[in-house]
Chain A
Amino acid sequence: MSPRPGYVLEVDRSTPPVLFWNGEGYLLEKLPPERSRIIYPPDPLHPLEDPIAKIRHALDHPMGDSQPLKTLLRSDMRLTIAFDDVSLPLPAMQAPDARQLVIEQLLELAAEAGVEDVILLAALSLHRRMTEMELRHALGNRVYNAFEPHGLLLQHDAEDPDGLILLGTTDHGEEVEINRRAATSDLLVYVNINLVPMDGGHKSVATGLASYRSVRHHHNAHTMTHSRSFMDMDHSELHSANWRMGRLIRESGVKVFQIETTLNTNAFPSQFSFLQRREWEWTPRDRAGFFASSKALTLMGDRARRALFHSIKAPMQLTSVQAGEVEAVHESTLTHVYRQQLVHVDGQTDILTMGLPYISPYNVNSIMNPILVACLGLGYLFNMYRGKPLVREGGVVIMRHPTPLAFNTAHHPSYIDFFEEVLADTTDPGQISKYEEAYANDPWYIQLYRTGHAYHGVHPFYMWYWCAHALEHLSSVIVIGGDRRAVKRLGFRPASTLDDALEMAEDSVGSQPTITHIRVPPLMMAEVS
């Protein structure tokens, strides 16, 4: 029996309260009956029965015009295996990680072929460097111990002038500058985890291994307002730019063998399984688990709570593996992602509500600062649609998150200045770009990015650009339970309760508005008709 598809529940008076995430916590909220609906994601797909065999099969039977990997390997070649960084998957999956499974098979084939020159390369783009623990988790101890001590496990450095190479310029004037080692290898194998439809394809190399000089061409307000959404490749300027760049990379002679994996949405271990179960199906154990855990969380300090949540490893499992030529692989991958995440929804809504969880791609083992709160809600969740946004133009988004006025100084140093300087001046994504160069080229931020664990200086700008489409589309954004100063600095409206927020929203959308709540995580994507 195939897993249940997603479900749109019309709320009536008997509908139990729905779970709202609230950062490092959660609570139940009652939505107004007769005009609210709740979108539940599909149940997790069945995993591959024998993932190792499936990976081997994918490597031996590649898609598109690619040759089987075995035939591409020879002893005197330069082989680079690039892989997605710590931003994927979310939450981190229980060991073995998908990257470990694939890379171990790759290395066994490389060993059989006698390949000596192999480099493992974390495709960070402008993200922070991964820690040893994170690398060990992604690759497994066996791989880490074999490569890292010998300097064969590298992390992409988008600011290393010697480590980059300019391959050319697209017909749209976009400079394509990527990692030199990857570009000059005889074969570049990219190992991807495709958590959302935005991931993968040409974006893996064209963004993951690119420099700021290259990334800036598509990570900007113009591109993001013309990506509707950036989760829908066919209507995404972000993807168009990456595809142009990817094709230029291929035409430059860089041979890319793409391996993409998809995971099911088993986001929480059994003790938290109620978090992804529909409320009316909660068993007495689920209810007890919810009650006990939510009470315990209120008694814990911020650090302990954060440590607890970030220690959660998701029991996600592989649902597909594709290998070969980039575009053919990605087309197949998307069908698997949509099979897992797509929910058909009739029509738009006046108000979209969402409870934001503790994690986003950019705060793994870190604090979800106010800018990341905005990005998660308006960048990611708002854009998880195909067709039309869930909320109508001029509608309102209500997010629930504590939005603490707190930053991880090691991970997000430029975010602090961005918050205090840029957002104090303007919250218009089109206007903030005047500050971008200064942040991107700041030597201190570059130093922290290259040698510490800091995101690139320009990264908070990208987070704000991610929100551009939503900010243009919406009339108002309300944050429930957030730090008032932080929320106001973001240009949003703070509210204390859901009832208050709904009342405030009526200023923009009129009385008796329709409400849609997206019950995520686990992730889902709405196909709005």
Chain B
Amino acid sequence: MSREFPFAKPVWPVQVPAPLPARSAGIYYDTSWSRSKLANCTRSAFVDNVLRPAIHLIARPSIEGVEALNLLEPPAIFVANHSSHLDTPLMLSVLPKRFREKVAVAAAADYFFDRTWKAHLFSLALAAIPVERKRPDRTSARLAVSLIEDGWNLVIFPEGGRSPDGWMQEIRGGAAYMAEHTGRPLVPVHVDGTYAIMPKGGTKLRPGSTRVTFGRPISHTAGENAHRIGKQIYDEFARLADESSSDWWTATKRAAAGTSPSPRGPEAAAWLRAWNLPSGSGDGASSRLARRRSSFEP
């Protein structure tokens, strides 16, 4: 039987403002309760006493560039690449306390909020807020903007989902939209190594080491062109990815020359893309790095 309308649920037209029906899951799930003092205290206790130790055990993160955050006043928007379910707990574990104690995470509405129990769980454990990722929708972006204006830091994965092969995907406009509308700084964060520990579709944890590199905060004025902000995010990610697999100075020189390797990887067959993954993203074979450079350095 066909699964098109009327057998399937109709798609709500993008141009029609969606109502806010009383629904217990999905994009309209009301997360305000999870930002109450009681819920926040509970979450802090969980993150500090359960999540961080567990992450340090499983992912052994090394952290670079976090000192730049000392110059930054919250709230800020942390923008990270996304290749594993570990990315969110890892991010929450490595953020300095003054950011971590009041941080929300943008999470896919169709994945983390599609069931009421999941919505309750992730709201409480991660201060997750639902984000629509299957179609253009400003509802969740508006919610995020209001949270930032209310002093909450935000972690967002601008690719809209986990990478299927470890390479970065296209960056969507949500983060830039939020920055544009709040005037708050964006902090690109490059996470490397989580794909090897738990890739998309993987069911087993393979403990390993990870590297989290905080980039330079991107400051701008409220109302600045979102497209330009998006370009800055991408360039910084390219630099951070390069730094992750080389060193800061090399990556900085390449960035200045505009010759940073693309964080989205080569346009090549699937096996070639897998073969050329940076060291931490694959199975940890250090020889990959050299191969990748030799093949794709301009």
Contacts and interface: CB of A to CB of B under 8 A. Distances in A.
Contacts of A10: 15
Interface stretch (A177-185, A279-287, A304-312, A327-335): A279-287
Contact of A280 (B4, B7, B11, B135): B11
A9 B16 CA distance: 8
Contacts of A291: 6-7
A287 B2 CA distance: 14
B5 interface: yes
Contacts of B135: 14
Contacts of A287: 5-7
A242 to B, nearest CB: 40
A290 B6 contact: yes
B16 A16 contact: no
A280 B13 CA distance: 7
B12 to A, nearest CB: 5
A44 B67 CA distance: 61
Contact of A15 (B6, B7, B9, B13): B13
B5 A28 contact: yes
Nearest to A28: B6
Given A279-B5, A282-B6, A290-B6, A16 B11 contact: yes
Contacts of A15: 11, 13
A492 interface: no
Given A279-B10, A280-B10, A17 B5 contact: yes
B201 to A, nearest CB: 27
A7 interface: yes
A12 interface: yes
> Which of B9, B13, B14, B135 has the largest count of A CB atoms less than 10 A from its CB?
B13
Contacts of A279: 5, 10
B6 A9 contact: no
A37 to B, nearest CB: 10
Contacts of A280: 10-13, 16
Given A17-B5, A279-B5, A9 B10 contact: no
A10 B12 CA distance: 12
A356 B256 CA distance: 66
Interface residues of A, number: 17
Contacts of A12: 13-14
Contacts, number: 40
A7 B6 CA distance: 21
A431 to B, nearest CB: 46
A9 B93 CA distance: 46
A517 to B, nearest CB: 14
B14 A9 contact: no
A281 B9 CA distance: 9
Which of the four size classes fits the interface of chain B? Answer: 10 to 19
A273 to B, nearest CB: 14
A235 B12 CA distance: 39
Contacts of B14: 12, 14
A393 to B, nearest CB: 29
Nearest to A10: B15
Given A279-B10, A280-B10, A282-B10, A16 B15 contact: no
A381 B152 CA distance: 54
Interface string A92-130: 000000000000000000000000000000000000000
Interface in B10-30: 10-16
Nearest to B15: A10
A365 to B, nearest CB: 30
> Which of B5, B7, B9 has the largest count of A CB atoms less than 10 A from its CB?
B5
B11 A9 contact: no
B152 to A, nearest CB: 31
A14 B16 CA distance: 12
Interface string B260-286: 000000000000000000000000000
A111 B9 CA distance: 57
Nearest to B18: A280
Contacts of B16: 7, 9, 280
Contacts of A28: 5-6
Interface in A1-26: 7, 9-10, 12, 14-17
B5 A9 contact: no
A90 B16 CA distance: 30
Nearest to A8: B15
Nearest to A291: B6
Contacts of A281: 10
A28 B7 CA distance: 12
A219 to B, nearest CB: 42
Nearest to B6: A287
A94 to B, nearest CB: 27
A14 B11 contact: yes
A15 B16 CA distance: 11
A282 B7 CA distance: 11
A9 B14 CA distance: 10
Interface in A245-299: 279-282, 284, 287, 290-291
A373 B26 CA distance: 46
A510 to B, nearest CB: 26
Contacts of B7: 287, 291
Nearest to A14: B11
A236 B15 CA distance: 36
> Which of A9, A10, A279, A280 has the largest count of B CB atoms less than 10 A from its CB?
A280
A298 to B, nearest CB: 15
Given A28-B5, A282-B6, A290-B6, A9 B15 contact: yes
Contacts of B11: 14-16, 280
A282 B6 CA distance: 9
A10 B6 CA distance: 20
Contacts of B13: 9, 12, 14-15, 280
Nearest to B19: A281
Contacts of A16: 5-6, 10-11
A28 B13 CA distance: 17
18 contacts: A9-B13, A9-B15, A9-B16, A14-B11, A16-B10, A16-B11, A17-B5, A28-B5, A279-B10, A280-B12, A280-B13, A280-B16, A281-B10, A282-B10, A287-B6, A287-B7, A290-B6, A291-B7
Given A28-B6, A280-B12, 5 more contacts: A7-B16, A15-B11, A16-B10, A287-B6, A287-B7
Nearest 10 pairs of A and B residues by beta carbon? A16-B10, A287-B6, A14-B11, A16-B5, A280-B10, A280-B12, A290-B6, A279-B10, A280-B13, A15-B13
